[in-house]
Each structure stands twice: as structure tokens, then as C-alpha cells.
Amino acid sequence: MIDPFVTARDLRDAITRGETSAEAACERTLARIAAIDPTLHAFLHVDGEGALARARALDRQSGPRGPLHGVPVALKDNIAAPGMPATAGSRMLEGYQPVFQAGVVDRLLAAGAVIVGKTNCDEFSMGSSTEHSAWGPTRNPWSLDRSPGGSSGGSAAAVAAGLVPLALGSDTGGSIRQPAAFCGIVGAKPTYGRVSRYGLIAFASSLDQIGPLARTVDDAELLLDAIAGHDPRDATSGDADTSGAPPQPNAEDRLRVGVPRHLIGDDVDAEVRRAFDTALDALAGAGADVREVTLPHSPLGVAVYYLVATAEASSNLARYDGVRYGFRAPGADALAAMYDTTRSGGFGAEVKRRLMLGTYVLSAGYYDAYYLKAQQVRTLIREDFDRAFETVDVVAMPTTPTPAFALGERLEDPLQMYLADVFTVTAPLAGLPAISVPCGLVGQPALPVGLQFIGRAWNERTVFRAARACETVAPPSAHPAV
């Protein structure tokens, strides 16, 4: 019997050595999904037949094997893969099946992965709890009445519950790292441009980035290495070497960790602060140089993010009008009425809220006052990080200000929901790589807490080095009960 919490590396190696097969690993994955997912609702679609056919073909394969040979992987439902729906959690795309595949899917298949299905997410990635999915919420494996975070909550819950060893999510303002923290796993947002966005259903194009969710830092790095690299189909895809720059420091180089204490105020849960400080003390005890840094403009991050992201969403989602593809409301007797009824019926409340905000800040008379000003402050946020990196290798802060909140707790208070991203929005605004790694359990019931590291652009290796050091001194103490 294959351990449901086996690492991707160990599973791959066992398949390569002939101790098990890709087919057996796939069968175990599908059986566990069938047994547990009706409770969690992490998956929107499971491609059992396609996954088994792929696994059997890999078992017959001779010659060199890829770095993910036989490893089951799940995709967030905003990533295009032929033969599977891509709804982005929205009624607007109900029944839509892409006829092409995303750049990351090309790379996963080349690496030998077995794609088993698509995971639940907030509609068009707009949310922090996966409660804004048109298909209903996902539940947190640690406590079924809690949110798994969002918008990649389905991917995070699937990995945390041992349904799959690896999953892909997308991160616009924290949508990989925040659910990773809530579910007690590792989630990484690469440098903007590190991973192709071709085939990713857009939310905010200058912020969106696909990244890995895994149970260990090594597995997250393995998956990122498999999907990273230039893609000529994505004009924002970078040319930097996928191994990261600069090269991995020598083991004897002391890791320098900067902590912006001025950002970690009384609005951060006391137990989260205590877990964060305990992990930093353990890092210092293991030889890291932990020092204070200042990020003067980061307190403006949430405001800047919700101006930039909603403006870009307003532009990107204009294509869903009932004419070209997707949902079309019946019964309209004129074009304007068809637009109105289609967009009113196809989009959920949170998407409508953000589209209204974005349309407003782009409108005549308000563009300079809101959107342009937000882009200027965005530059100042990036410059603050550049100055910090003159003296430190990574910046550390809590991933979230609280542990996972209860389902329904914040649905009527959008501002409180948005503040769940207070520590995660600045990395995508600055285009920087960041990772969340578990740093303890707090409260009753016991809920995970995440610690976040942000690094220099294109320097994922140092970010992973810091996360690995944290994982060593503050390892996860348990798996969820499901």
C-alpha cells in the first residue's frame, strides 16, 4: 500500500526502481480521491480514465525518465488542459473545454507527470477562501468547518489531505501562499515571468503567476523546476536560466533574514506572532543572521493591489459577453440587454464587485487619481524591497495574520476578507518570488500557521534555501485527520 503522504520524490524513485508502478500510484490516488473528496470538495473534475491510460503508458516507457515520472498532479481549474473542463470556478465558463493546453501542461507531460484532475477555486481566482466558487466551497482538511484559503484552496486542500502529492495553483495576490499556510503545506509564487502564463485564464495579467503546492520544500522546488522556463507564446515569459540566479550560495554562507517588525502589529493574531517568532528564533539558533528591515510603503500594499488587480480584471473579463464563448443568458431581445443579462447571470457577487471597482478606477476623471497613482506606489514598494536586499538575502513575515477562519465568517465583510492577504500582496506587486512554509500549529482545534520568505527577482534558489532551513528547525508536527 502506498503511503498517501509519500513525497513526490520518494514516489518517483520507487516507481523508477520498480518497487511500485505509475499505474498503482494512480489507482491509489483515484481511490483516495473517491473516498475523501466528497467531504472536502477539493476537485471539480477527476479524469480517472485518462490518468490511468497515461500511467500505463509511462510504465511501458523505456529509456530516460522525467523528474516527475509517474507522479500524480492536480491542476487548478483555471489552467487549460485538453479533455478536461476549465471553468475558473465560474458559471460563465460552465461546460467549456479548451482545445489547447497550457504551457505548464506541456512541461508537466514532458517531465512524466500524471494529471489526475482539476481543483476547485474562487471564481476567476477572485477570493481568499474558495467560497466564491460557483460550485460550492472547499473545506479545510484540518477542520472541516474552516476555509482552506483561496483562491487555490482546492489545490491546497488536495495536497494537504494526501489526495495528490503535488498540485499547481495560481497566485495573483497570495492565492498560492495563503491557502498553503491555512492547510499546513508549502506553496511558492515564482518570479513574475519565471513560469509561462499561456493557457492560464487571466485575472490580473501583470500579477498572475502559476506555482507549486506540495508537502515539502524539496517537492515544491522539484515541481517548479519542471514547469519553469521561457515560452515564446507568453510575451511576459522571462529568459532567465530556470536554475535561478545568482547560483546557490555555499553551505557555509550565513543566511541573512530581514524582518519588517513594523508591519506585524496588534492586528496579527497573538498565536500567529508567537509561532512566527519561535520559528525565527530557531533559525537564528541554527546560524541564520536575523535582523530588522523597513519596508515603508508595504502598509499601502492592500490598497494598491485592489486598485491594480481590479482594473486589470475589468479589462480581462470584458471578453465574457455572451457573444464569443461561454454562458449566454436566454431571452434577451437586444444586444445591450443580452450583455446585461449574461454578465449579471454568469458572474458571481465577488467578481461583480471587483469588476465595478476596476471599471470605476479606469474611468475618465479617475484614472490618474487611482490607477496611475497605484502604479506609482507599486514602484516604490519594489524599490523598498531592492533596498532591503542590499543587506539581507530574504525578507520574512507571517504568511497570514490569522489561522484559517470559519467558512461563512467573512462573506458579509469583504474588507476583512481582503485583509487576509495583507502580507502576501507585496511580492506579486513587486514581481518577486515568495514561498510559504509551515511553522507550527496553534489553537483548538489545532490549525497550521505559515511563515513567508520573499527574495530577489529570479533568485528562487535562495528563497527555497530559507524555506528549507525553516522546515528543518520547525518541521510540521502532524498531518490532518482526514
Q: DSSP state, 64?
A: -
Note whether 77 and 120 are within 8 A (CB): yes
The yes-or-no answer on residue 352 being catalytic is no
Omega of the bond leading into 246 within 30 degrees of 0 (cis): yes
What's the CA gap between 383 and 375, in Å, rounded? 13
Is 298 among the catalytic positions?
Answer: no
Q: Which residues pair with 385 in a beta bridge?
A: none
- What span, in angstroms and rounded, lies between the C-alpha atoms of 425 and 447? 23
From residue 375, how far is each of 206, 327, 362, 368 by CA, in Å? 11, 33, 12, 10
Provide the CB-side half-sphere exposure for 482 (13 A, CA).
26
How far apart CA 121 and CA 154 sit, in angstroms, is: 6
Q: Does residue 426 contact residue 295 with C-beta atoms inside 8 Å? A: yes
Query: Taking a C-beta distance cutoff of 8 angstroms, is the pair 295, 394 a contact?
Result: no
Alpha helices in 135-247 (DSSP H): 153-160, 177-183, 217-227
> Quick one: cell of 313?
480584471
Give dist(CA 403, CA 413) in Å, integer.
Answer: 17
Which strands make up the sheet holding 72-76, listed edge to edge? 43-46, 114-119, 72-76, 166-171, 209-214, 186-189, 434-442, 447-455, 394-398, 256-259, 289-292
Catalytic residue among 90, 151, 155, 196: 151
Q: How far apart are CA 170 and CA 189, in angstroms?
A: 8
Number of Cβ within 10 Å of residue 135's Cβ equals: 19
Q: Taking each helix axis from N to C terminus, what angle separates 22-40 and 48-60, rounded to the nearest 10 degrees?
A: 160
DSSP bridge partners of 168: 75, 212
Q: Catalytic: which of 155, 175, 237, 314?
A: 175
Cβ(175)–Cβ(208) under 8 Å?
no
Tell me the three cell numbers of residue 82.
485538453
Give which of 308, 294, 290, 320 is closest to 386, Cα–Cα.
Answer: 294
Residue type, 441: L
Question: Is 151 one of the catalytic residues?
Answer: yes
Q: So which residues are the catalytic ones? A: 76, 151, 175
